[in-house]
Structure 1
Amino acid sequence: MSDKKIKVLYVDDEENNLISFKANFRIKYQVYTALSGEEAIKILDQKEIDIIITDQRMPHMTGVEFLESIIPKHPDPMRILLTGYADMSAVVDAVNKGKIFHYLSKPWDEDELDITITRAYDVLNKKREIEVMNKKLETSNDQLEFMLRQKLLS
């Protein structure tokens, strides 16, 4: 990993959880916090976020609804869902609709969450590398096609 800190957005309606998360991870990661899905969307519109961690049970918008709503505009960040409830339908929805990378139960374990963030970031970097390679390949194909057309015309 480079010197660049992983940018993590943690969304939870319980302010104590946000404070605890920031206290535990602010040195290792660049941490952003939001008390609601609406507040988180504003942050996503302003910052490039690598990892999104959200609580499932929040007023106005569940974690799954929040994750699902941001996919069209912010498809890249890796998504982690936290919930204190053994709610299997929320987990299934999160996987199917919210495109989550991982599900963890609350209260979260600091080491497990740290490992999950690191794994998610590794997957994100692999996706980014593949995108760069695909763009290079696309350019190479365009150049090759152009050269073949030139050859056929001459």
Structure 2
Amino acid sequence: MSANILYVDDEPHNLSAFAATYRRLYKIFTAESADEGRRILDQEDIHVVITDQRMPKTTGVEFLASILEVHPEPIRMILTGYTDIDAVIDAINKGQVYRYIQKPWAEDDLRINIDKAIEIYTLRKENRELTEQLKVANTQLEFIARQNLLS
């Protein structure tokens, strides 16, 4: 599976560096704002969302929290040059963030974290599909059992 990665950062240089680094491994989508990120999420099947924490208008945590209801499936990560323990706690509690990674990122470490996020996304998707299949099978078994009781 070729994964779709959305990276949201208000610094164009960071967006282009990220895209250049990972474009051969994943399908990369970039956005310079939370609003642009939401538009991409509405149009594309995104597997992993990575966002900068400190952006104008909206923090990364606020952006991730705002997409949870409509887009709960993507695995969420924050990439930031700042270590603020309150932001880390907010990220975990409000944005349901999988990883909080410091800038500048180490290319291999970030790739490993993205790969792990993709694995989690895939496992969750398979789990949802299997759960649906079990519900259908259970409904069919209940129907057969009722038919046997009536005959």
1:6 corresponds to 2:3: yes
1:76 corresponds to 2:73: yes
Q: For 2:3 and 2:136, how far apart are their aligned partners in 1?
A: 30
Q: For 1:132 and 1:8, how far apart are their aligned partners in 2?
A: 22
Superposed displacement of residue 86, structure 1: 1.0
Superposed displacement of residue 77, structure 1: 0.3
Q: For 2:103 and 2:84, how far apart are their aligned partners in 1?
A: 12
What TM-score, normalized to structure 2?
0.98
Unaligned runs of 5+ in 1: none
1:87 corresponds to 2:84: yes
Partner of 1:62: 59
SS of the residue 1:142 aligns to: helix
Tell me how large the CA RMSD over aligned residues is.
0.7
Superposed displacement of residue 26, structure 1: 0.7
Equivalent residue for 1:111, pick from 108, 112, 115: 108
Superposed displacement of residue 45, structure 1: 0.5
What TM-score, normalized to structure 1?
0.96
Superposed displacement of residue 11, structure 1: 0.4
Partner of 1:129: 126
Moved segments of 4+, more than 4 Å: none
Q: For 1:118 and 1:82, how far apart are their aligned partners in 2?
A: 15
State the identity as a percent.
49
